Each structure stands twice: as structure tokens, then as C-alpha cells.
């Protein structure tokens, strides 16, 4: 199974770099990363691409305008090669087994069309910021 991890960036600064660092540590390895830049003005996309740790080689889609979050995700989805689309915000820092757990869930529940993750507050991981689907 292959995955396409889609990240929408707008002036995310160092958060995008940190997000990519966490993705590079995933135990599941068969995935691509697509970053859609929504007309950022802070240089965050170029900084993140330059700092992307091996083995990541993110593909970048640069939008001339900020068409919004949904439009950016749709733009990346049209370019994605994976069997599953995985949507990740640049201020989310996934645990090492995050993708492995999502793949396992998709195999356990083959009739499901979507999965979600528990989200912990980055500043205080004892706080649940979202409970997934």
C-alpha cells in the first residue's frame, strides 16, 4: 500500500520543517509527501524543502494565490500517486508509528473510507486537541 501525505502550507515557518522531520521518522516508508504552498510570503516552503531530512523528497506545488485549504488539498489530490490520501497540517507532528497505525486500520476495516487520529497539543501533550474520526 502506498500513501500520499498532503500538507497545505501558508507562512508556516519552522512548523513545516518540524512536521517534515517527524514524517522522516515514520516506521512506514511507502509514502510520498506533497506540499501545496498557498502563496506564502515568508519563504517557508523553500526553507522546508532545503531542510527536508532524508529520505524525504517532498514534491511542491506552488499556488500563485491563496485559494484556501480545501482547494489546495484538491490540487494535491489530483497529483497524488498513493492509494490513500493522508491530510496533515504543518503544525502537526506525527508519532513514529502514525502511518503504520493508519495502514493497519485500513487493513482491519477494509470497507471504511476515512480514518482520523488523536491529536495532542504540541505545547502540552497531556491535552487532547482532537479525537479523530
CATH number at residue 38: 3.90.550.10
Q: Which residues contact 70 (CB under 8 A, 6 or more apart)?
A: none
Average pLDDT, the chain: 95
Prediction pTM value: 0.94
Per the structure, the count of domains in the chain is: 1
Domain range for 73 is 3-130
At 8-31, the pLDDT tens digits run 999 999 999 999 999 999 999 999
At 72-107, the pLDDT tens digits run 999 999 999 999 999 999 999 999 999 999 999 999
Amino acid at each position: 500500500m502506498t500513501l500520499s501525505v498532503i500538507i497545505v502550507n501558508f507562512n508556516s515557518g519552522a512548523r513545516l520543517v518540524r512536521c517534515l522531520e517527524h514524517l522522516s521518522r515514520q516506521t512506514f516508508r511507502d509514502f510520498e509527501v506533497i506540499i501545496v504552498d498557498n502563496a506564502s510570503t515568508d519563504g517557508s516552503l523553500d526553507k522546508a524543502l532545503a531542510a527536508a531530512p532524508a529520505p524525504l523528497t517532498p514534491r511542491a506545488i506552488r499556488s500563485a494565490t491563496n485559494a484556501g485549504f480545501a482547494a489546495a488539498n484538491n490540487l494535491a489530490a489530483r497529483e497524488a500517486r498513493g492509494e490513500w490520501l493522508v491530510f496533515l497540517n504543518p503544525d502537526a507532528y506525527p508519532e513514529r508509528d502514525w502511518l503504520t497505525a493508519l495502514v493497519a486500520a485500513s487493513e482491519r476495516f477494509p470497507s471504511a473510507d476515512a480514518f482520523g487520529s488523536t491529536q495532542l497539543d504540541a505545547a502540552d501533550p497531556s491535552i487532547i486537541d482532537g479525537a479523530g474520526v
